[in-house]
Amino acid sequence: MPITDLINFDDVLEKIRIELSQGNWDEVTSLLESLRRSDQAEVFSDLPPDQQQEILPLLAPENSADILEELEDEDVFEIANRLETDRLIEIVDQMEPDEAADLLGDIPSDQAEEVLSQIDEADEVRSLLIHADETAGGVMTSLDVRIQQDMSVDEAIWHLRNLSPESETIYYLFVEDQNDHLVGVVSLRDLVVASPGTLIHEIMDESPISVRVGADQEEAARLMQRYDLLALPVVNEQQQLVGMITYDDLLDVLEDEATEDIYRLGGIPKEQPADVRLSSAMKTRLPWLILNLVTALISATVLSIFEDTIAQVAVLAAFFPIVAGVSGSAATQTLTVTVRGLALGDIAPKEGLKTLGRELLLGLVNGLSIGAIVAVIAFIWKGTPLLGLVVGIATLLDMICAGLAGVLVPLMMQKLNFDPALASPILVTTTTDTLGYFFYLALATVMIASLV
Q: Domains plus CATH for the chain? A: 9-130 (1.25.60.10), 146-262 (3.10.580.10), 278-451 (1.10.357.20)
* Mean pLDDT, range 294-307, rounded to an integer: 81
Mean pLDDT, all residues of the chain: 79
Q: 441 with 310: CB under 8 angstroms? A: yes
Q: Which range (21-35, 341-355, 383-397) has the least confidence?
A: 341-355
* Mean pLDDT, range 160-178, rounded to an integer: 76
Q: 449 with 403: CB under 8 angstroms? A: no
Q: Measure the CA–CA gap between 192 and 188, rounded to whole angstroms.
A: 6
Q: Is 324's pLDDT higher than 80?
A: no
For residue 148, the surrounding DSSP H or E stretch is: strand 146-148
The SS3 of residue 143 is coil
Q: Bridge partners of 187?
A: 172
* Mean pLDDT, range 164-173, rounded to an integer: 67
Q: Is 105's pLDDT higher than 60?
A: yes
* Mean pLDDT, range 202-219, rounded to an integer: 90
- Residue 258 identity: A
The SS3 of residue 166 is coil
Q: Which range (213-227, 255-269, 302-316) has the least confidence?
A: 255-269
Task: Count the neighbouring beta carbons within 10 Å of the beta carbon of residue 203.
Answer: 18
pTM of the model: 0.57
Q: Left if phi > 0, otherwise alpha if psi is -120 to 50, otherwise beta: which for 386?
A: alpha
* Mean pLDDT, range 33-59, rounded to an integer: 80
| Side-by-side strand order, sheet with 182-187 | 146-148, 172-176, 182-187
Q: What is the pLDDT of residues 179-194, one digit of tens each?
A: 889 999 998 888 888 9
* Mean pLDDT, range 96-101, rounded to an integer: 82
pLDDT band at 176 (very low <50, low <70, confident <90, very high): very high
Between 35 and 174, the more confident residue is: 174
Q: Which residues of 130-140 are buried (b: 16+ CB within 10 A; e: fewer)?
A: ebeeebbbbbb
Write out the E strands in 156-313: 172-176, 182-187, 211-212, 231-235, 241-246
Q: Measure the CA–CA gap between 411 and 428, rounded to whole angstroms.
A: 12
